[in-house]
Amino acid sequence: MECADLQQQWAASQADALQLLKDDKVMLAEARFGALESHWRAGAHAGCDSCRDFVEGILNSVARTDLRARAHRVAAVRASVASDDGWILQRDADGIRTLYRLEPGNSHIILRAECDIDSPVLDILALFYEVDLYTRWMPTYKLIGLKAATILENPSPTKLLVHIVANVPWPMQTRDLCIAIDGVDCMDDGNAHRQIVVLLDSSEMFEGKAIPAPAASITRMEMRHGALILTPHVVNGGGTATRLQLTCAIDPKLPMIPDCLINFGVRHLAYMALDKMRKEIAALHGSELYAGRIVEHDAFYGFIRRRLEELQLPEHHAASIAAVVPPPAAPTSSSASASTS
C-alpha cells in the first residue's frame, strides 16, 4: 500500500476515534487509537519518515494524550477494586463491605465501600447527578456533615465540577472540596466486566481552567484515587442488581487530629454513607422530585437512556423514576372560562 493511501486510512481511524470520544465512549476511542498505534508499529512502513511523522502527529496530539491519561486512570481504578488483594476488611454487615488500605508514603488511607443495589441503573445515577440534593441524604457523623453541594461547571453530560462545603466542629474552619467528575462508559470496551466508571479528583485544574480558590474562612480538603464504579450484574453473569463500589482517599486537612483518628472516622462514615445511599436509591422510584429533575436535565438523562437502550438492558434497568413524571395539571374552572371567553 502506498504511503498516501496508508496515511488516509490512519486519518480515517483517527476521525473514528475522535467521534467515539465526542460521543463519550472513552474506552472504545482508546481501543481505536491503540489499534492504530499497533498497526503502525507492526507495519512495513514503520521505517518511513513520512509515515512516522504522520502517525506521531496523531499519537502525540493533545486529544490522544489526554485520552491516554484518562484511560490509564480508569484501568488503574478498575484493577484496584477487582479483588481484595492489598485491602483490609473493616466491616461486612447487611450486605455492605468497607475496606481500606494504606498508601505508600501517605498517612491517609484509601477507602473502599461496596454493596449490591437492586434498582435501575438510571435511578442510581440520578442520586449522584442531582448534586444539590445531597444534603437530603448525606449522613452526619460526630458533628461533621454536609452543608451545601453545587455544580460549578457542566461542560458535557458526563463531566462536572462539583463544590462541596462541610461543617466541622468548632473551633476548626469550615471545609470545602472541589471535585472534578468524569463519567466513563466501559460497558462495551471488551473488558471482562462491563461497567460505568465515574472518576473523582480534586486537582487544581478543570477543563484547562484553574479551579476557584476557597474563601479565607474555609480550608480546602483533597481527594485522590476517587471513583464510583457501577457493575450491572445482568450483563456480567446474571441477576438484576448492580454492584456499587466507591473508592477514594480524602485528606480533610486536620493537622491537630492524629491520622489514626481521622482514618477511624472515615472508615465508619463510609459505612453510614453507603447505607444511606442504598436506602435513598430504593425510595427514588416513586419520587416526583427526582422525576422532575429527569425532565429538567434531559441532556444527561436522555444520553444515559439512549445508551442503555443501545446496550439492550432488560426492562428492570430501562424502568426508572422518569415513569412517575406527573401529567400536566388539568385547567381550573377559572382558567377554562378565561380560555373560552
pLDDT at 244: 95
**Is the pLDDT confidence value at 237 over 80?**
no
Per-residue pLDDT reduced to its tens digit, 261-305: 777 777 778 888 899 999 999 888 778 899 899 999 999 998 888
pLDDT at 170: 77
**Is the pLDDT confidence value at 241 over 90?**
no
What does the pLDDT average to over 63-92? Answer: 91
Share of the chain above pLDDT 90, in %: 30
Q: Is 261 helix (H, G, I), strand (E, B) or coil?
A: helix
For residues 54 and 64, is the Cβ–Cβ distance under 8 A?
Answer: no
pLDDT at 336: 46
Query: Phi and psi dihedrals of 21, rounded to 5?
Result: -65, -40
Q: Is 117 helix (H, G, I), strand (E, B) or coil?
A: strand
**Is the pLDDT confidence value at 108 over 60?**
yes
Per-residue pLDDT reduced to its tens digit, 161-188: 999 999 887 778 889 999 999 999 888 7
pLDDT at 311: 78
pLDDT at 145: 80
pLDDT at 339: 45
For residues 169 and 175, is the Cβ–Cβ distance under 8 A?
Answer: no
Long-range contacts of 281-287 (CB under 8 A, 24+ apart): 281/117, 281/119, 281/123, 281/124, 281/127, 282/117, 282/119, 284/119, 284/123, 284/126, 284/127, 284/321, 285/119, 285/120, 285/123, 285/319, 285/320, 285/321, 285/323, 285/324, 286/321, 286/324, 287/321, 287/324
Nearest residue to 242 (alpha-carbon basis) of 290, 194, 191: 194
| Mean pLDDT score of the chain | 83
| Nearest-angstrom CA–CA distance, 287 and 325 | 9
| Nearest-angstrom CA–CA distance, 177 and 41 | 43
CA angle 310, 307, 185 (to 5 degrees): 115
For residues 250 and 221, is the Cβ–Cβ distance under 8 A?
Answer: yes
CA angle 225, 244, 112 (to 5 degrees): 40
Pairing of strands 242-251, 109-117: antiparallel
| Nearest-angstrom CA–CA distance, 12 and 297 | 34
pLDDT at 258: 76
| Nearest-angstrom CA–CA distance, 38 and 341 | 74
Grid cell at residue 35: 489499534
pLDDT at 335: 46
| Nearest-angstrom CA–CA distance, 26 and 18 | 9
Share of the chain above pLDDT 70, in %: 87
pTM: 0.85
